[in-house]
Amino acid sequence: MPNTSGRRLLLEGCIAAAVSTLALGAAAQTSDYPNRPIRMVVPFTPGGSTDILARTMGEQLTRAWGQPVIIENLPGAGGSLGADKVAKAAPDGYTLLMGHIGTLAVTPSIYPRLPYDPVKSFSPVAWVARVPNVLVVHPSVPARSVRELVQHGKAHPGKLNYGSGGNGSAAHIATEFFKLRSDTDIVHVPYKGTAPAVTDAVSGQIQVLLTGAPAVMPMVKAGKLVALAVSSPQRLQGFPELPTIAESGLPDLAGFEADQWYGIVAPAGTPETIVRKLNGQINASLNSQEILSRLQSEGAIPTPYPPEVFGKLIEAEIARWRPVVQRAGLRPN
């Protein structure tokens, strides 16, 4: 009779050796990470807050590691096109997504057949920043406060237009939340990114924007847009003269908060050693005085936390915004 026990031991030994070899190979691949260029996908057009933060972080990683970080803008479907491409990429740390509140927390409630799962399809890497939205209007709008804007909107229902970076974008959900709370009728005009929405706001094609501070404050400083308030619980350190929306004095807007947030994710299954290395370098940059000053000057608040904190934020925000999407009846175009 064949010696089955001996054959079993030999087979087990071969399997153990193969597993050990694979483990050593994987360790070697991650120990010298990165050894080639990294691609960071921005699921919107250039010029918006997502793009600005991605390029800032890309510059820092390039400087630290000597490998170029290539920014790739893939707009469309509220950011879901670019996010889906990253979700299906190889989980090797060389394809990243600069995600944000819309892409990772709001679109799952708007698009019933989203091609990716914001929790299961990605490994959270780093929560980069919290960015309060700034409510701005074209100078032709006869409103210089939130109260005056609400009064004007109620007196002229459906006559004001607001822009956003597309269905499910941060500006879209924040403005719909504002409309629900203030009971105003302002018509949504979706774009493929924040930058074209800002361009049309400056030209007067749309009259209202509630979007990230970095994208609009240069136009406010230039006198091309008028800032009325910020969406955060506290005033911005860089712009202390701007009141919060909650300070409008309108009871329906008491406690109003609708900030954007941004963070980097990788495809699910990315080795933890790579995730930790990315997180450590990104957080080191966020803690540097150079980046701290730059982000604060643009109205952004750095958030250097571990990957687990960012993951919990994504899950909590999905639950938070789902009822808002349902109440507003938001649907993809």
Point out the domain boundary residue: 224, 253, 282.
253
Which pLDDT tens digit goes with each residue over 211-238?
Answer: 988 889 999 999 999 999 999 999 988 7
Note whether 54 and 85 are same-domain residues: yes
CA distances from 243 to 75, 177, 231 (A): 32, 18, 9
- Give the global pTM: 0.78
Regarding beta strands 38-42 and 69-73, do their DSSP bridges make them parallel or antiparallel, or are they unpaired?
parallel
Dig out the tokens for 198 from the structure. 């800002």
For residues 248 and 323, state if they share a domain. no
Please report the pLDDT score of residue 23 as a whole number.
45
DSSP states of 42-84: ESS-TTSHHHHHHHHHHHHHHHHHSS-EEEEE---GGGHHHHH
- What CATH number did the domain enclosing 223 receive? 3.40.190.10
Let me know whether 229 and 162 are in one domain.
yes
Q: How far is the C-alpha of 230 from the C-alpha of 283, rounded, in Å? A: 26
Whether residue 167 contacts residue 112, with contact meaning beta carbons closer than 8 Å, is answered with no
Cα 139 → chain centroid: 28
Predicted pLDDT of residue 16? 53
Say whether both 108 and 139 belong to one domain. Answer: no
Other C-beta atoms lying within 10 Å of the C-beta of residue 4: 8
What's the pLDDT score for residue 26?
A: 46
End-to-end Cα separation, the chain, in angstroms: 71
- Low-confidence spans in the chain with pLDDT less than 50: 1-2, 4, 19, 22-24, 26-28
Q: Per the structure, how many domains does the chain have? A: 2
Neighbouring-strand partners of residue 211: 134
Q: How far is CA 317 from CA 102, 103, 262, in A?
A: 10, 11, 12
Same domain, 161 and 233: yes
Q: Find the helix or strand (DSSP H, E) in which 186 lies.
A: strand 186-190
Report which DSSP code applies to 40.
Answer: E
Query: Is residue 170 assigned to a domain?
Result: yes
pLDDT at 54: 95
| Tokens 């909590």 -> residue | 316
208-212 and 69-73: which strand pairing?
A: unpaired
Task: Give the pLDDT of residue 1.
Answer: 45
Residue 234 is part of which domain span? 133-253
